[in-house]
Amino acid sequence: MSKFKGRVICKGTYEGECVVSKQGVNTLATFQKSALKNAKQVIASDQNNKDIYGKNLTGIALALPQTIGSTTGGLVIQTVCQMGINPAALLFSEEIDSLAASGVILAKNWENSKIIAIDKLGQKFLDTIQTGDKIKIYEDGTVEILN
């Protein structure tokens, strides 16, 4: 079992599965198709991100370095949270970027979303965690990899 401690942006607890992207996640390319179709879950649609493409992200913890891409990124995160099809948690190895931060904070405050966001977990976190790993997230920003 490995433990990592990050900075809490939006607190919460979670125990379950994790999907991992070793590269930045383009929020518009990843979430837009599912949001536009009013889907019941997000299936990652960014064909340029082979780590997450085609994977269900709804209710799952998503580990990533940062988000990248369009300036609509924060709005996209807020929208999927409003729809209730968001990841349970965004776990950033690096410092959260301003667009993702605005999206999760707005979703938490305006949409009463339960999304969790923790940043500064470190490169060792991203090197250690694998898609399918079971994890536990604590309100203090601790993330345990259980397997």
Give the whole-angstrom CA distance, residue 93 versus residue 41: 25
Given the candidates 3.90.25.10, 3.50.30.10, 2.60.40.2240, 3.40.50.2000, the CATH classification of the domain at 2-145 is 3.50.30.10
pLDDT per residue as tens digits for the range 100-115: 999 999 999 999 999 9
User: What confidence category does residue 1 fall into, taking pLDDT thresholds of 50, 70 and 90?
Assistant: confident
Question: 135 or 71, which is more confident?
Answer: 135
H/E stretch holding 61: strand 61-64
Any idea where the domains of the chain sit in the sequence? 2-145
Rounded to two decimals, what is the model's pTM? 0.96
R_g of the chain computed on alpha carbons = 13
- Average pLDDT, whole number, for the chain? 96
